[in-house]
Structure 1
Amino acid sequence: MKAPSRYRPNTSSFAHYWANDVGIDLLKKLANTPDMKNADAFVPYLFQADDRGDALVKDLLVNSSFPNTLRVLETYLRELGNVPLDKRNVLDRFFSQVDTSPAWLDNELLSAGVTFSQRSGLSGLVVLRDYCLMGGYESAAINKPLVYTGALKKGAVKRLAETVEFWVDITGNNALGYGNVGFAGVMKTRIIHSFARISILASTDWDSTKWGLPLNAWDMLATNLGFSLVYLTGLRQMGIVALEREVKGLFHLWKYVGYLLGIPIDLLPEDEKTAIEALFYWTMTQPDGDNDSKAMAKALQEEPLKSHYPPSWLGRRLMREIHLYYNHFLLGRHSCRLLGLDKTSMGKIAYLNIIRNRLQNRRVHDPQYLGQLVRDGRAVHERVRAIYLHAK
């Protein structure tokens, strides 16, 4: 299969990452540096979509709008009897193909991944925003669907609010049980992805010979790795070191979420080493960032000033500087320069949070203290989620 033109050696952004500090430390966990010849095996995934999700959306859209389709899904998961029979039959067929309790699912590991996410507290949300999300803008390819759907024009506040809502919903206790808030959030996201892909292909000049399919399987894997491996790596930089079982649990959590999202199961890593190799192949075949990348990075940089929290202008200005500090701390100067991010001096006050994390991390082997960190962290997540939902 001929690769799309986006598939080429990365020369600046991600290549620099793997050649320095954090990237080198990750590669040291492997027996050998991955052979780039093996990356060719992933090319077909650039043309693979979520066929079941796409078929579901097409069927639900018959004589209906997409907002109504979302409402039908939410009602189906909560109150099956209130869904029109034709739509219920469509959803019955879809969910009959979704095994919510596959043989490989380990609920204890799933819980370990959830509680680790919860104990990350405010630092976990910082890593998601300033490392995972901002760092993803270094690829010109994976972000193109955002451009084609007009998400860039809708603003960073809305996109960030949706990401926070998705992640906080998923990482609640028992949230991924059938019909629960996390499960519903995953399924809602899955059909949003399908609707976006269908709309882009039907209504725009999207060139698959250049970009592959929008929201294709390999790019979806990269997003999944952002929530697992990149998130874990960022937390370590922030002074939060996961226990061995927490690491296993985190990858198990995102294997299950990825599976529910329709990512091919053979792509989803079960452990850190496999995830490092997968991330290496994807990042090292990405085109460097472009003007769209810089525009999205700029929008996220300025997001605090356009949000509703903190209520004062001075508070929002300080929040902007703090996030810029974390961008530079986590991504490094090279990446921040490529993305066109501003420098900051005022934001250095944020380093106090990293010191606190390191002090707290010394006591995580105490079950009572660990439990308190989990409860406190979850309370922070829920407060921030409420703030962003108000902003959205």
Structure 2
Amino acid sequence: MTRIPYRFKYNNTSFAHYWSQGVGKELLNQLGYVPDLTIAEKFIPLLYQWDRPGDQVVIDLFEQVGFSIGNACLFDYIDQNPLTDNQKTVFDNFFRHIDTNPDWLDRKKLQVGAELSRRPGLTSLIVLRDYCLMGGYESAAINKPLIYTGALKKGAAKRLTETVEFWVQIVKESALETPNMGFKHVLSTRMVHSFARVNILAKTDWDSGKWGVPLNSWDMLATNLGFSLVFLVGLRRMGIQPSEEEIAGLFHLWKYVGYLLGIPLEIIPENENEAIEALFYWTMTQREGDEDTVALATALKDEPIHAHYPKQLLMRQMMREVHLYYNRYLLGDYSCDQLGLPSTTIGRLAVINIWKTKKQEKRMGEIGFREKMIIEGATEQENVRLIYQDFNRQ
């Protein structure tokens, strides 16, 4: 009989509000029914399921040479550069579990999904930061590995830099072709997860009976939904109106990325309706946030102040206010209050970008305009990636 961990609870107050009075109400209307919450119990075993092949790489190699050297070996293997017999054997065994070009993969859909991610430019990154990432802190359980690995002490800027690097690299043109950098970043991120899990279990007082296994399959699915469904909802809130082809492409993109990250293929949603149902089951069985929730949200809120860009403190303070406005606009007052995020007046300047985004979206039917926005959006995102990389080195 599967253990039911402390973290598993029906009808969390915060997320119940999301589905009854927040954006989730619209999603359920779109779905056409309210999923049967008792079905969620069948997902409890996923809290004790994890990426064993990835962990084996960490145990056999990364733990001996350190993460940086281990990651360099991974990249060398993908590039078919020479490795020691032991290193090659470790990765040979790992890649036996991965079909990098499965029968179900549609490269055209990957391209369209990545194009949708690029064409909103800065708006995509705003949605990721102020909606997907900040909103994810509302669950206490999924964030516990961050606390145990010291992410809070390292600062929000570092995690934001890593997230931007990962996301921008994998949505570039042909990024997921082997051996391109996006493909490498997905596998490197998988190693990060395994390295964290192995060390949390070996070196801390982590309670799996309370939280499940760190970075388990159920929580990895939730992260995947954050980049697919939640991202899509955020884009719509900002005025982006994706086509059906773009939506199908986005879910296919994250099906493939999720598969490469080690998420069981059978639980990754194929389309928006499946994703809505999966998000309902995950969110509605989460406990309310705790002091770590507020601490992580506060750190992300104050990240612009501690960053090195812009150089003027006043401008960094203004950026914080603008992000706070987006938090309220995207997450809603109830969630922001749960996260301990203040309201803002100055930050209302953000409406200019929302207005601009909606105005541009009306031109998507013009010949060549979508292609133009994809190119410009990619340039904006790459510039932000480089800025984060630069100030994270300071």
Following the alignment from structure 1 to structure 2, what is the Cα–Cα distance between the partners of residues 324 and 62?
Answer: 40
Following the alignment from structure 1 to structure 2, what is the Cα–Cα distance between the partners of residues 62 and 208?
Answer: 22
What are the ranges of 5 or more consecutive residues in structure 1 without an aligned counterpart?
none
Which range is displaced more, 17-26 or 231-240?
A: 17-26
1:103-143 Cα deviation digits (max 9, x unpaired): 11011111010100010211100000000000000000000
Which residue number in structure 2 is paired with residue 162 of structure 1?
162
Which residue number in structure 2 is paired with residue 123 of structure 1?
123
SS of aligned partner of 2:385: helix
> TM-score, with normalisation over the residues of structure 2?
0.97
Letter in 2 for 1:160: L
Alignment of 1:61 onto 2:62: yes
Which residue number in structure 2 is paired with residue 349 of structure 1?
349
Aligned residue runs from structure 1 range 62-101, under 5 A: 63-81=64-82, 83-101=83-101
Which residue number in structure 2 is paired with residue 42 of structure 1?
43
1:163-204 Cα deviation digits (max 9, x unpaired): 000000000011001121011000000011001111011111
What are the ranges of 5 or more consecutive residues in structure 2 without an aligned counterpart?
none
> TM-score, with normalisation over the residues of structure 1?
0.98
Aligned residue runs from structure 1 range 19-34, under 5 A: 19-34=20-35
* Residue 85 of structure 1, CA deviation: 2.2
Q: 1:325 to 1:62 in 2, by over 3 A?
A: closer
* Residue 304 of structure 1, CA deviation: 0.2
Following the alignment from structure 2 to structure 1, what is the Cα–Cα distance between the partners of residues 206 and 90?
Answer: 29
Which residue number in structure 2 is paired with residue 391 of structure 1?
391
Letter in 1 for 2:340: G
Tell me the C-alpha RMSD between the 2 structures: 1.0
Alignment of 1:189 onto 2:189: yes
Q: 1:62 to 1:6 in 2, by over 3 A?
A: closer
Letter in 1 for 2:17: H
SS of aligned partner of 1:205: coil
Following the alignment from structure 1 to structure 2, what is the Cα–Cα distance between the partners of residues 17 and 259?
Answer: 28
Q: 1:38 to 1:374 in 2, by over 3 A?
A: same
Which range is displaced more, 273-282 or 357-366?
A: 357-366
Identity %: 54
The answer (yes or no) to whether the contact 2:22–2:332 under 8 Å persists in 1 is: no
1:293-319 Cα deviation digits (max 9, x unpaired): 000000000000011111111111110
SS of aligned partner of 2:368: helix
Which range is displaced more, 155-164 or 308-317?
A: 308-317
Aligned residue runs from structure 1 range 173-184, under 5 A: 173-184=173-184
* Residue 68 of structure 1, CA deviation: 1.7
Following the alignment from structure 1 to structure 2, what is the Cα–Cα distance between the partners of residues 391 and 274?
Answer: 39
* Residue 20 of structure 1, CA deviation: 1.5
1:338-367 Cα deviation digits (max 9, x unpaired): 111121100000001111111111121234
Which residue number in structure 2 is paired with residue 247 of structure 1?
247
Letter in 2 for 1:164: V
Which range is displaced more, 100-109 or 356-365?
A: 356-365
SS of aligned partner of 1:111: helix
The answer (yes or no) to whether the contact 2:12–2:285 under 8 Å persists in 1 is: no
The answer (yes or no) to whether the contact 1:304–1:317 under 8 Å persists in 2 is: yes
The answer (yes or no) to whether the contact 1:161–1:391 under 8 Å persists in 2 is: no
Following the alignment from structure 1 to structure 2, what is the Cα–Cα distance between the partners of residues 198 and 21?
Answer: 37
Which residue number in structure 1 is paired with residue 215 of structure 2?
215
Letter in 2 for 1:69: G
Which residue number in structure 2 is paired with residue 238 of structure 1?
238
Which residue number in structure 1 is paired with residue 274 of structure 2?
274
* Residue 246 of structure 1, CA deviation: 0.2
